[in-house]
Amino acid sequence: MTWVLLFQLDDLTYGIKVESVQEIVEKPEQYPLPGAKGCLRSVINFHGEVLAVINLPKLCRCKASHLDPRLIVLTDEFHSLAVQVNSVGSVVEIDIDRVASPGPGSGPPVLGTCQHDDEGDIHLFDMGSVIRQLEKLDLGVDGG
Amino acid sequence: MRVEISHKFIIGFLAVIVSGVLVNLGVPYLQIPVEFQQLFSICCSLVVGLIIGVLFSRLFTSNIRHLTDAGMRLSRGDLSKDIILSHNAFPDETSDITDAMNEVQQSLRTLVGDIREIALRVAESSQNLSVNSKDMSISSLEVADTVDQIGKGALTQAEMVEQCNRLFKEMAKAIHQVAGSAQKVAESARQTSETAEQGGEIANANLSSLRQVLTEAEASGQQLVTFINQLKQINKIVEVINGIAQKTNLLALNATIEAARAGEYGRGFTVVAEEIRKLADSTTSAAEEIRRVIEGISEESHRVQGTLGHVIDEMERGREGVDHTSQAFIAITRNAESTQTKANDIAELTEQQIASAQRIADSIDEIDKVVSDNAAATQKVSSTTMEQSAAMEEMADSAQQLSTLSEALLSAVKQFKLAEPPES
């Protein structure tokens, strides 16, 4: 069993393992980056650490433009960043063994899909793929 | 030296005799034969007598011719020259005749001059008289026309006076009716005044009730404003609760994440955090529900407040209307009282007018009689003026004839020549 944090992109429910989630912050002050373009526009001060704010719907070319005021701070052993989603959900427990392989598609990168009794289909979000995708993008600023 | 004609003849006769005597005395000394001396004497006497006769006759006839010529001039009217005798060394009766004729001539000059001057004045006066008579005749005609018009006017005046009399009688009847109407108006005004007083009392009572209702409505409006302010405060509190619930939700979410990251050790805490999060969600939902309810109540309160303000405005206008109505009733009462007083005054005045109209009608009757008399008198004056005009025309004709006569007299007098024109 694995705990995942649910969030919405367009009308689909995605989940990300809580091990990758450091914290959810509400309405932090965002500092625009001069000359930035695309999905990276600003940074935040997260407990003294400067984190880039990624507009995940824009990165994944979602249609919905509404953004939740809360930001999800993601981290792994090498990276930390804050992402904006259409809506932040709750934390649920899923059976990782019941996750099916994802089908072919051009949507956001996912590791697989599972069925939840209350939340319906949950797509496990592939954070590593997103970071790799970000590293390939020319964001108009010197990456670090 | 004056020598009368008879004396002159005697002197002449004596001269002839003296000459004959002297010749007889001187002939003997002339050596003339004796037989011829007598003849010579006679001849000489004859010659002397002839000479003296011729001289005397010339002297007489010369003065008489002068007198004859003067008489002829006088008969022609020539009074310009005095009569002067050519031989007047020894004045005689011809000189007396000459003086008498000169005096006559002088008297004629004066008389003719006076006649000429008087004729001129008479001619001028007769001309003026003729002109004045014509003017007076014209004026008399105009006066006659005017008097005729006055007569016609007097007739018209008489008709108008009669009509006026009739109208005055009708007016007297109308004044009677006005008096009756004025009394009715006074009665109506009295009733109007009483009704207006009752209306004013009712309006004042309504005004008092309306003021009380208005005061209560204003108090209700104030209470509603207080209620709306309290709703705003509740809404703020609900917003604070909502914010707390959202933060609680976030904290519960983060706690759930932390508990999940703790693995099996945080499982129980995860459940608690999830319950807290759900509780926060419920709180948020309840706060949102409260906010919606408060918003609905606030909107309804605002509508009630607006309606109440509208009602208060309407009641204020109604109060003003009732106030105006009360004022209008007071004004109506005053006007009705004033109308009653005036109607009574009108009734009294109409009574006086009736008496005055009766007096005027009597006076108009008198005027009618006087006007009729005037019309008759004017007709008489008109006929008299016509006769006067005819007399004036006759006078003008007589003056014209007098002028003609004076001109004829002047032309007759002009035959007399009074003096030679002065030599230039």
Q: Is the pLDDT of residue B420 over 70?
A: no
- Please, are residues A79 and A131 in contact by the beta-carbon 8 Å criterion? yes
CB contact (8 A) between residue B247 and residue A19: no
Chain A residues whose beta carbon lies within 8 Å of the beta carbon of residue B254: 23-24
User: Alpha-carbon distance B117 to B111, whole Å?
Assistant: 10
Average pLDDT of chain B is 84
Q: For the segment B276-326, what is each residue's pLDDT rounded down to a tens digit? A: 888 888 888 888 888 888 888 888 888 888 888 888 888 888 888 888 888
Q: pLDDT confidence of B393, banded at 50, 70, 90?
A: confident
Q: For the segment A61-119, what is each residue's pLDDT rounded down to a tens digit? A: 888 778 999 999 998 877 889 999 999 998 888 888 888 887 776 678 888 899 888 88
Per-residue pLDDT at A143:
41
DSSP state letters, B114-128: HHHHHHHHHHHHHHH
Q: pLDDT confidence of B421, banded at 50, 70, 90?
A: low
Q: Take residue B157 and report the two structure tokens written for it.
A: 């005046």
Per-residue pLDDT at B92:
84
Which residues, in sequence order, are CB contacts of B365 under 8 Å at separation 6+?
Answer: B165
User: Alpha-carbon distance B14 to B45, whole Å?
Assistant: 12
Number of helices (H), then strands (E), belonging to chain A: the values are: 2, 11
- Please, are residues B86 and B66 in contact by the beta-carbon 8 Å criterion? yes
User: Alpha-carbon distance B57 to B67, whole Å?
Assistant: 15
User: Alpha-carbon distance B343 to B200, whole Å?
Assistant: 23
Q: Is A76 an 8 Å CB contact of chain B?
A: no
CB contact (8 A) between residue B257 and residue A70: no
User: Which residue, chain included where needed, has tokens 């904006």?
Assistant: A84
Average pLDDT over residues B232-248: 88
- Please, are residues A90 and B275 in contact by the beta-carbon 8 Å criterion? no
Q: Which amino acid, B64? A: I
Q: pLDDT confidence of A6, banded at 50, 70, 90?
A: very high
User: Alpha-carbon distance B264 to B254, whole Å?
Assistant: 17
Q: For the segment A28-56, what is each residue's pLDDT rounded down to a tens digit? A: 899 998 888 788 889 999 999 999 999 99
Per-residue pLDDT at B49:
82
Average pLDDT over residues B81-110: 85
Neighbours of B64 (CB within 10 A): 13
Q: Is A23 an 8 Å CB contact of chain B?
A: yes
CB contact (8 A) between residue A90 and residue B277: yes
Per-residue pLDDT at B407:
85
User: Alpha-carbon distance B259 to B265, whole Å?
Assistant: 8
User: Alpha-carbon distance B69 to B64, whole Å?
Assistant: 9
Of residues A3, A24, A93, nearest to B254 (C-beta): A24
Closest-CA residue of chain B to A2: B260
Per-residue pLDDT at A122:
92
Q: pLDDT confidence of A144, banded at 50, 70, 90?
A: very low
Tell me how far CA of residue B412 lies from CA of B118, B139, B400, in angstroms.
Answer: 13, 36, 18
CB contact (8 A) between residue A91 and residue B270: yes
Domains in chain A, CATH or no CATH each: 2-136 (2.40.50.180)
Per-residue pLDDT at A45:
94
Per-residue pLDDT at A106:
66
CB contact (8 A) between residue B250 and residue A26: yes
Q: Take residue A16 and report the two structure tokens written for it.
A: 């990300």
Which residues, in sequence order, are CB contacts of B99 under 8 Å at separation 6+?
Answer: none
Chain A residues whose beta carbon lies within 8 Å of the beta carbon of residue B271: none
Per-residue pLDDT at A142:
47
Chain B residues whose beta carbon lies within 8 Å of the beta carbon of residue A70: 250
Minimal Cα–Cα distance from B234 to chain A, Å? 25
Q: For the segment B133-147, what is each residue's pLDDT rounded down to a tens digit? A: 878 878 877 887 888
Neighbours of B192 (CB within 10 A): 19
State which H helix or E strand residue A16 sits in.
Answer: strand A12-17
Closest-CA residue of chain B to A23: B254
Per-residue pLDDT at A24:
94
User: Alpha-carbon distance A128 to A136, whole Å?
Assistant: 13
Interface residue of B257, B281, B282 to substitute, partner A, most A CBs within 10 Å: B257
Neighbours of B311 (CB within 10 A): 17
DSSP state letters, B277-307: HHHHHHHHHHHHHHHHHHHHHHHHHHHHHHH
Q: State the pairing for strand pair A2-9/A12-17.
A: antiparallel
Q: For the segment B108-119, what is each residue's pLDDT rounded down to a tens digit? A: 888 888 888 888
* Alpha-helix residue ranges (DSSP H) falling in B82-92: none
- Please, are residues B228 and B301 in contact by the beta-carbon 8 Å criterion? yes
The per-residue b/e assignment along B348-360, b for 16 or more CB within 10 angstroms, e otherwise, is ebbeebbeebeeb
Find the range with the poorest average confidence among A7-11, A68-72, B51-55, B156-160.
B156-160
CB contact (8 A) between residue A24 and residue B274: no
* ipTM for the complex shown: 0.84
Closest-CA residue of chain B to A74: B257
Q: Take residue B307 and report the two structure tokens written for it.
A: 């309606």
Minimal Cα–Cα distance from B246 to chain A, Å? 9
Which residues, in sequence order, are CB contacts of A2 under 8 Å at separation 6+?
Answer: A17, A93, A94, A95, A96
CB contact (8 A) between residue B253 and residue A18: no
List % helix, strand, coil for chain A (3-state, nearest 5).
Answer: 15, 50, 40
